[in-house]
Amino acid sequence: MESRRVAVFEICVGILLIVIGFILWRWSKQILWILIYPPPLAKPLIESLPFLFWGLGALLVVDGVRRKIQDTRMQMHAKQSRLRNSGRGEVAIRKDKLLLFGKFYDVEVYKSEKYAISLDDSKIRIRMPGSGKPRSREYEYLRKWIRGELLKTLTNFLREYERVMKAPIGKFYIKNQKTRWASYSQKRNIHFNIKLAALPKRIIEYIVIHELAHATQPNHNRKFWYIVEKFCPDYKKRKQELKEYSLVIQKSKIWQKMLNMYT
């Protein structure tokens, strides 16, 4: 809005200067005649004034038009972006709710020519070819997308805490595990449960620290918990929150359907 006002102001002032330039050009001879004894530089100065006003006016008009075009393009781009993300004109063939990284999202399924999935502040939109049946395809696609998002989060945490805890690992995997949130193997590999994607990232961070602590302390002894507390001082609180989220996930229909289909 501010850019638009500046553009209009520049165009108006530019046109005004051009008009003043024409007036000066039209009346320059009369002005010289009024000055009965004009100074030596008066004539070239007065004759050049119209060109000065024309030049300044033209520059302002051009810059104002440029600003106007730029502002219009930005508005069109923003409008197109909102239309793409809002799903306007589309009717969801199915709706559900999903707990993802500690927040509930509305899941909406739409018909589309290609598979696509998008996430905004409150919705996850899934676009699928055909009618969206059988629903197993929907769960499979959603599960793969969730796994990809969890992979990014785990990679970031592992990259950070491997360095500060000096606990390098071999590989890490994301699987559908029945009971454990994660497990550390003798080969220094870590298996993470895909259900971690339902948890807030601060709790995922605690689980990563917990597993990396096993690099030096295989058992849950005092030294182990000392290491965990060193890098996660409020681990007891996060551990309690983990239990609470576990109950929420068990009651989540969409999570249970995804997990039961891919055991």
Q: What is the pLDDT of residue 220?
A: 92
Domain ranges within the chain, ordered by starting residue: 91-132, 143-260
Q: What is the pLDDT of residue 32?
A: 52
Q: What is the pLDDT along the chain (263 residues), one digit of tens a residue?
A: 566 777 777 778 878 877 877 776 666 655 554 555 555 555 566 667 677 777 777 887 788 788 778 878 777 776 666 555 554 456 667 778 889 999 999 888 888 777 888 887 788 888 887 655 556 677 888 888 999 999 999 999 999 999 999 998 889 999 888 789 999 998 899 999 999 999 999 999 999 999 999 998 989 999 999 999 999 999 999 999 999 999 888 888 888 888 776 55
Q: What is the pLDDT of residue 133?
A: 55
Listed in sequence order, the residues at least 6 apart from 162 whose beta carbon sits closer than 8 Å to its beta carbon are: 168, 169, 212
Domain 143-260 is found in CATH 3.30.2010.10:
yes
Residue indicated by tokens 């990396």: 212
DSSP of the chain: -HHHHHHHHHHHHHHHHHHHHHHHHHHHHHHHHHSSS--TTHHHHHHHHHHHHHHHHHHHHHHHHHHHHHHHHHHHHHHHHHHHHHTTT---SEEEEEEETTEEEEEEEEE-SS-EEEE-SSEEEEEESTT--SHHHHHHHHHHHHHHHHHHHHHHHHHHHHHHTT---S-EEEE--SS-SEEE-TTS-EEEEGGGGGS-HHHHHHHHHHHHHTTT--S-SHHHHHHHHHH-TTHHHHHHHHHHHHHHHHH-HHHHHHHHH--
Q: What is the pLDDT of residue 91?
A: 64
pTM over 0.75: no
